[in-house]
């Protein structure tokens, strides 16, 4: 199975423009997550969804929004990009219990100029 | 608040030697602990986790980790390092007593030289 797919692989975006990062999983996992990875800071949670129809804020949610219309898809939207949002973005999913492993997608490298 | 510390930014070992990547944690209750590996330009891959039971956890690619509650540590180990083990390693914790999400350490770069 494909697991988790993310699109695009990379993107250069002008500041002030909007963009949606796509994430799709085929494991029928209940929970999905968006992280950003920055050098020296590790991974930080942006938003999460414990089940379709619900979302929650993570550690660094400002400037980002998410939706969870169905089980498989969890898009992340930047309404008006700023250079500080230059990062590598990872989507993850899990069955949803505290003991469950999170599985990660390949990532999207975003550069905001 | 939950936190994870990986005190070494980089660990260098020679191929064939044992390796240790350190991780300490801070949680209010009993923890769930995870190790992930990231190869260049790739996503994170799950290595192993501690939930309960035996303090020594065995995982993928010959890695293991020991949960030490008194020292609040969960160090990753491998008896004999391979050049192909060179990668970025992340420790993560989740507080069993809350609905909290995974908290990641900042990562440790492992370099294994022939």
pLDDT tens across A44-60, in order?
999 999 999 999 999 89
Mean per-residue pLDDT for B25-50?
92
Give the pLDDT confidence score for residue A1 in this predicted structure: 55
C-beta atoms of A99 and B32 within 8 A? yes
Instruction: State the smallest CA–CA distance between residue B18 and chain A in angstroms.
Output: 25
Residue B103 has pLDDT above 70, yes or no: yes
Residue ranges of B 25-64 with Cβ closer than 8 A to chain A: 32, 34, 36, 42-46, 49, 51
What digits encode the pLDDT tens for the residues B38-95?
998 888 999 999 998 899 999 999 999 999 999 999 999 999 999 999 999 999 998 6
**Measured between alpha carbons, how far is A110 from A88 in angstroms, rounded to an integer?**
6
Residue B98 pLDDT: 55
- Does residue B97 register a pLDDT over 80? no
Task: Name B54's Cβ contacts closer than 8 Å, sequence gap at least 6.
Answer: none
CB contact set of A21 (below 8 Å; sequence gap of 6+): A6, A7, A8, A34, A75, A76, A77, A78, A89, A91, A108, A110
The residue to which tokens 């905001």 are assigned: A112
Residue B75: the pLDDT is 98
C-beta pairs of B107-110 under 8 Å, 24+ apart in sequence? B107/A42, B107/B6, B107/B38, B108/B6, B108/B8, B108/B9, B108/B10, B108/B11, B108/B21, B108/B22, B109/B9, B109/B10, B109/B11, B110/B10, B110/B11, B110/B13, B110/B19, B110/B21, B110/B81, B110/B85, B110/B86
Give the model's confidence band at B30: pLDDT under 50 very low, under 70 low, under 90 confident, else very high: confident
Q: Which ranges of chain A have pLDDT less than 50?
A: none
DSSP E strand boundaries for chain A: 4-7, 10-13, 19-25, 31-38, 42-49, 56-57, 64-66, 76-78, 87-94, 103-104, 108-112
Chain B residues within an 8 Å CB radius of A41: 106
Residue A47: per-residue pLDDT: 95
Report, as an integer, the average pLDDT of B2-21. 96
A1 has a chain B CB within 8 A of its CB:
no
Predicted local confidence at residue B96, as pLDDT: 63
Cα distance between residue B92 and residue A39, in whole Å? 17
What's the confidence (pLDDT) of residue B100?
63
Do A42 and B46 make contact, defined as CB atoms within 8 angstroms? Answer: no
Closest residue of chain B to A90, computed from CA coordinates: B43
Q: Does A106 touch chain B (CB under 8 A)?
A: yes
Pair A30, A49: CB distance under 8 Å? no
């Amino acid at each position: 199975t494909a697991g988790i797919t993310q699109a695009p692989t990379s993107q250069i975006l002008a500041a002030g423009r909007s963009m949606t990062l796509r994430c799709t999983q085929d494991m029928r996992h209940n929970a999905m997550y968006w992280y950003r990875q920055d050098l020296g800071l590790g991974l930080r949670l942006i938003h999460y969804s414990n089940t379709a129809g619900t979302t929650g804020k993570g550690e660094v949610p400002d400037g980002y929004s998410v939706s969870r219309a169905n089980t498989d898809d969890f898009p992340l939207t930047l309404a008006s990009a700023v250079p500080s949002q230059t990062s590598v973005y990872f989507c993850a999913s899990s069955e949803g219990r505290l003991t469950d492993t999170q599985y990660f997608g390949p990532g999207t490298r975003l550069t905001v100029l | 608040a939950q936190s994870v510390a990986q005190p070494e930014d980089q660990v260098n070992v020679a191929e064939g030697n044992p390796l240790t990547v350190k991780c300490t944690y801070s949680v209010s209750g009993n923890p769930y602990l995870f190790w992930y590996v990231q190869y260049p330009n790739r996503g994170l891959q799950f290595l192993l986790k501690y939930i309960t039971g035996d303090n020594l956890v065995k995982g993928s690619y010959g890695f293991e980790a020991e949960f030490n509650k008194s020292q609040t540590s969960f160090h990753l180990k491998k008896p004999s390092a391979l050049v192909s083990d060179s990668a970025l390693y992340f420790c993560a914790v989740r507080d069993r007593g809350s609905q909290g999400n995974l908290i990641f350490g900042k990562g440790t770069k492992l370099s294994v030289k022939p």
